[in-house]
Amino acid sequence: MTQVTNTTVVQLSAQSTKSSQSSRSSITNVPALSKSNACSGTSLSPNLTMFSFNHEVIHNYTAAHDTLDLVIIGAGQAGLALGARMKEMKSAMSMLILDRHAQVGDSWRSRYDSLQLYTPRKYSQLPGLPLSGDPEGFPNKDEMADYMKRYADHYELPIVGNCGVTSVQLMNQNHTTSTHNLQPQQEPLHELSAQLQTALPCIVGKFHLMIHGFDKPLCCKQLVLAHGAFSAPFIPEWAHHINPSIVQIHSNSYLRPDQLPTGSVLVVGGGNSGAQIAVELSRTHQVSFSVRSPIRHLPLRTLGRSTFEWMDTLGFLHAPTDSWRARFLRKQGDPLFGYELKEALGAGNIQLMRAAEAWDNASSSVVFADSSTMSPTSIIWATGFKQDNDWLQLPNLCNSQSQIQYRGHHTQIPGLFVIGMPWQQARSSALICGAGRDAAKLAVDILANK
Ligand SMILES: Cc1cc2nc3c(=O)[nH]c(=O)nc-3n(C[C@H](O)[C@H](O)[C@H](O)COP(=O)(O)OP(=O)(O)OC[C@H]3O[C@@H](n4cnc5c(N)ncnc54)[C@H](O)[C@@H]3O)c2cc1C
């Protein structure tokens, strides 16, 4: 079944590229995806087969040097919410969402087994599809992963999995690398790879994406980076000097207590993941918990309402980043939601330590800010994440710490947007409950830029 549409966000089938070759100036009239021809993955579940795309669609696009109106990198909550909003707005733009994971929801699925969200279900859902279960209850990570997958199916989003973007290059219409429309440089230009420079031509694509396993670029006019702010684990430099007999795991790779040998565990990092992992490990191991600043505990619920509902009601959750409410919240730093850690500390099940600052080779021990030391059997680094944006070979995009520079959703490069970063529009920007609001704003900008 092929069906022509110019009123919806077009889902591109394998056949679509061929028909669009004859009308490259407008590719809105490509056939919409028919469920039967969308995907050849017979081993997948029926839903995944219906609404996911295989690599053929990329092959067809790249082979034909054809150009998409919009590509979104990342099918996490930020990319999904934006994709859904674009479809709702019936924008008639051709769009693909690329993700290096095999399945929608994998970034939640791969997190530690006991992860329970600190946002209740009614603040852990995206617009247009409720998360089933008690709205006041707190979902677990598999529930979240399955919900994300259901969301993608519900909106029939054009997602290609197993599709890691390895670099992005900006081109001008003469098919050369371009910097002419950028603001004065703040950072030196990145070296552009020889691979990309020879992978030409593309018709009018402004952004050329190299995808793992493909030798030609996928081109698009507008590009959204929705690849997540929590992808590259951060571990302090001095950890490399630690005695190799000590087991070290970042919280990103921690799954469950039996990954660790018996003995003492040092959990470094006072955020919500570190606290949850420390409490879990305290049931099987001797645990020390190292924090840089005093812990601020907030209850999960107060007077019958969740803390997030209070934040919402009092205007803190979605307050614009430059408002006094947002400034007040940021100054407070991130709290720990719930009292489980407080109780474990009170019961003496977890020992609180100052910031872990160095490794002392002579005594084979970790040194803390107050000069105390310990020699743990294992260390969990719950020290957060850094942005990994080296693969984006775009001038003026990142600062010297490889952090994307943006104002709202806009980067310095016209047509290049970002979504899902902490405090991008508000406190909620990197939370599930903020993804829909941010996506709605961004969708308007994308359409205006068409
Ligand atoms: C341990 C933990 C607990 C959290 N708990 C909560 C909570 O309780 N409530 C809440 O609201 N938020 C919570 N968050 C914060 C946030 O909601 C999640 O991190 C969420 O996954 C972020 O969504 P995202 O779409 O921005 O990024 P992600 O979910 O990380 O999705 C980004 C996607 O981009 C893909 N990608 C990345 N690079 C590439 C590339 N080069 N090419 C192709 N694809 C790429 C990835 O495969 C991934 O699927 C938590 C975060 C963590 C780490």
Which atom of ligand 1 is nearest to 108's Cα?
Answer: 21
Residue 186 has pLDDT above 60, yes or no: no
Average pLDDT over residues 358-384: 97
The Cα 415–Cα 430 span in angstroms is 21
H or E element, residue 194: helix 194-198
CA distances from 376 to 5, 252, 266, 348 (A): 62, 20, 6, 18
Q: Out of 48-62, 319-333, 383-397, which region has the weakest mean confidence (pLDDT)? A: 48-62
Using the mean position of ligand 1's atoms as its centre, give its distance from the Cα of residue 116 in Å. 15
Nearest CA to ligand 1 atom 39: 227
Which atom of ligand 1 is nearest to 421's Cα?
Answer: 26
pLDDT tens figures, 89-135: 987 899 999 999 999 999 999 999 999 999 999 999 999 999 999 99
Average pLDDT over residues 347-376: 97
CATH architecture of 235-296+333-383: 3-Layer(bba) Sandwich (3.50)
Give pLDDT, residue 35.
28
| Residue 43 φ then ψ, to 5° | -85, -5
Single-letter residue type at 29: N
Strand partners, 306: 301
Using the mean position of ligand 1's atoms as its centre, give its distance from the Cα of residue 428 in Å. 13
Nearest CA to ligand 1 atom 31: 76
Which atom of ligand 1 is nearest to 273's Cα?
Answer: 1
Single-letter residue type at 103: Q
pTM reported for the whole predicted model: 0.84
Query: Which residue would you say has higher pLDDT here, 29 or 348?
Result: 348
Residue 44 has pLDDT above 70, yes or no: no
Which distant-in-sequence residues (6+ apart) come within 8 Å of 275 by Cβ?
289, 295, 336, 340, 341
Q: Out of 2-6, 152-156, 411-415, which region has the weakest mean confidence (pLDDT)? A: 2-6
The Cα 446–Cα 418 span in angstroms is 11
Ligand 1: residues whose CB is within 6 Å?
73-79, 98-101, 107, 111, 115, 117-119, 124, 164-165, 226-228, 230-231, 273, 391, 420, 430-433
Handedness of CA 226, 187, 167, 218 (dihedral sign): positive
Ligand 1 pocket test target in 52, 55, 107, 116 with most atoms within 8 Å of CB: 107
Using the mean position of ligand 1's atoms as its centre, give its distance from the Cα of residue 63 in Å. 31
Using the mean position of ligand 1's atoms as its centre, give its distance from the Cα of residue 180 in Å. 33
Place of tokens 């490259």: 24
CA distances from 49 to 36, 295, 348 (A): 9, 46, 51
The Cα 311–Cα 182 span in angstroms is 38
Query: Which residue would you say has higher pLDDT here, 12 or 104?
Result: 104
Per-residue DSSP letter, 418: E
Band (pLDDT 50/70/90 cuts) for residue 52 is low
Using the mean position of ligand 1's atoms as its centre, give its distance from the Cα of residue 18 in Å. 35
Tokens of 435: 């993804």
CA distances from 38 to 20, 28, 82, 449 (A): 17, 18, 21, 29
pLDDT tens figures, 380-417: 999 999 888 989 988 889 998 888 999 999 999 999 99
Nearest CA to ligand 1 atom 35: 74
Tokens of 438: 């941010």
Query: Which residue would you say has higher pLDDT here, 14 or 349?
Result: 349
Ligand 1 pocket test target in 55, 71, 77, 114 with most atoms within 8 Å of CB: 77
* Residues 59 and 48 sit within 8 Å (Cβ to Cβ): no
CA distances from 22 to 30, 210, 390 (A): 10, 24, 37
Domain boundaries, the chain: 19-231+387-449, 235-296+333-383
Residue 51 has pLDDT above 60, yes or no: no
pLDDT tens figures, 264-281: 999 999 999 999 999 999
Average pLDDT over residues 427-449: 96
The DSSP code sequence of 29-70 is TSBPPPTTTS---TTS-HHHHHHEE-THHHHHHHHTT-EEEE
Which distant-in-sequence residues (6+ apart) come within 8 Å of 121 by Cβ?
131, 133, 134, 135, 136, 137, 138, 139
pLDDT > 90: what percent of the chain? 70
* Residues 210 and 71 sit within 8 Å (Cβ to Cβ): no
Using the mean position of ligand 1's atoms as its centre, give its distance from the Cα of residue 438 in Å. 15
Tokens of 196: 């990309």
Give pLDDT, residue 181.
35
* Residues 367 and 358 sit within 8 Å (Cβ to Cβ): yes
Residue 25 has pLDDT above 90, yes or no: no
The Cα 362–Cα 226 span in angstroms is 45
Nearest CA to ligand 1 atom 16: 431
Query: Which residue would you say has higher pLDDT here, 347 or 43?
Result: 347
Give pLDDT, residue 442.
98
Which atom of ligand 1 is nearest to 434's Cα?
Answer: 11
Using the mean position of ligand 1's atoms as its centre, give its distance from the Cα of residue 362 in Å. 40
The Cα 78–Cα 391 span in angstroms is 20
The Cα 53–Cα 76 span in angstroms is 16
Q: Helix axis angle, 141-154 relative to 77-88, nearest 10°?
A: 20
| Domain 19-231+387-449: CATH superfamily, name plus number | FAD/NAD(P)-binding domain (3.50.50.60)
Give pLDDT, residue 182.
34
Assign residue 371 a region (left: φ > 0; alpha: ψ between -120 and 50; beta: otherwise): left
Residue 201 has pLDDT above 70, yes or no: no
Nearest CA to ligand 1 atom 44: 99
Which atom of ligand 1 is nearest to 433's Cα?
Answer: 11
Residue 361 has pLDDT above 80, yes or no: yes
Strand partners, 219: 67, 208
Give pLDDT, residue 174.
52
Per-residue DSSP letter, 111: S
Give pLDDT, residue 92.
83
Nearest CA to ligand 1 atom 53: 230
Ligand 1 pocket test target in 267, 431, 437, 438 with most atoms within 8 Å of CB: 431
pLDDT > 70: what percent of the chain? 81
Ligand 1 pocket test target in 55, 80, 230 with most atoms within 8 Å of CB: 230
Nearest CA to ligand 1 atom 4: 117
Which atom of ligand 1 is nearest to 385's Cα?
Answer: 53
Give pLDDT, residue 190.
32
Q: Out of 40-49, 232-241, 245-254, which region has the weakest mean confidence (pLDDT)? A: 40-49
Give pLDDT, residue 396.
85
End-to-end, the C-alpha distance of the chain in Å comes to 29
Ligand 1 pocket test target in 209, 231, 307 with most atoms within 8 Å of CB: 231
Residue 321 has pLDDT above 50, yes or no: yes
Average pLDDT over residues 284-295: 96
Asked if the domains at 19-231+387-449 and 235-296+333-383 fall in one CATH topology, the answer is: yes
Assign residue 183 a region (left: φ > 0; alpha: ψ between -120 and 50; beta: otherwise): beta
| Residue 104 φ then ψ, to 5° | -60, 135
